[in-house]
Structure 1
Amino acid sequence: MVVHTTVPAAPGRLLTLPGVYAPQDDTELLARALGREAIGPDTDLLDLGTGSGALAVHAARLGARVTAVDIARRAVLTARLNAMVARQRITVLRGDLTAAVPGRTYDVVASNPPYVPSPSVRPPRRGPARSWDAGQDGRAVVDRICASAPAVLRPGGVLLLVHSALCDPDATVRRLAKEGLETTVADQARIPFGPVLRSRRSYLRERGMLDGEDGEHMEELVVIRAERT
């Protein structure tokens, strides 16, 4: 089995098993947002869809008590390996989003979920694309997080959620605001299309998701911050 090594700036050096999402620009953007929060030894943090464990390791280095969740077995193994390599104590659980932590609440919930719009109606149940494909509007997992994450936030708790502007950040803000959270776009960045989006230009164009000539080549990432006041 080949093990890929990646070096994202914020979380540090990580191992990534085949089929597990390797840390990219969205990981670093979310790590940067996490660094602006008051994270310390008294912070209980939940990382939903941990993938390689990059955010979990980063949060543990900031001092948080971290629980990381992923539905994919290889992701759980990868996150546990990276926690050991980084010498960080992280609880890594296999499960489906917040269903993996029944009855628990947290000061911070962070998530970098699948969010790439796909011609397929339903997200894949296996394979590498499971890490990024999220239904025809890219919101199959984002909407589930908007519905479930507020219930595990303590008073004053914060949800940090990163996704593409292709899947409608305003809809995310509205959904979380309806849950009683004070919600804003906390950070954003423009990056060139990667291979997956380049291969889907025609599909995105047909759905009216591309905006102007620049929108044919550049993707905007956003971090949504939602606080239970």
Structure 2
Amino acid sequence: MKKTMAILTLATCTVATSAQATPEATELKQGAAFTTSALAGAALGGPVGMILGALGGAYIGEQIKQADEVDTMTQSVAVANEEIERLNAQLVQAREETEKLQQMALESLNTQVLFHTASDQLTERGRDRVERVARLMQQWPQWRIRLDGHADPRGTDEYNNVLSQYRAKAVEEALVAAGVKPERVELYSHGSSRSRADKGDHRAYAAERRVDIDILSGRRKPEVVMN
């Protein structure tokens, strides 16, 4: 009996390793294993041997099926891992491109609010600009704002420092009134220290009575600076 089973196993294993793990190949190997085992059993033991051979072929055929299913799953996992790596690479590239486009958009949104001589009150045009910026800030909660107040060179340094701070504060208050949280606003004042206007050039003075509004990405704690 042991000799019979050894011969059956040898015959069917030879068939089991003769094709790759595909559904069609698995069925072919199972059928061949069943037939080979039955024939080998009949040759060795007559009808009883044929029955034993058929049972052995069925068992080995099931083992073939399970082994092929494992091979197929392994190949599928490998393919899936390659696809995940490819998608991750595309995601990283898309994120980098998005960040570049966002930075370009932020730079294009930077603007200025101009003031009348010796005034820290927003003009109608200046208020419109501030409200437009506030609407954008509500749509992009991760953005923050930097305000830089300036003054023209007329008057004392002390006066210009205070005036430029009041101008930046006026813009900040307008932003907060329009729905922007105070912690998203950084406030700076520079007086007339950054003036480039020639003495007596009133047209150039007009451009220096301003608050620069810079929209930035990310979050930082606000601070007040005077210089």
The answer to whether TM tops 0.5 is: no
Q: Between Structure 1 and Structure 2, whose CA radius of gyration is higher?
A: 2
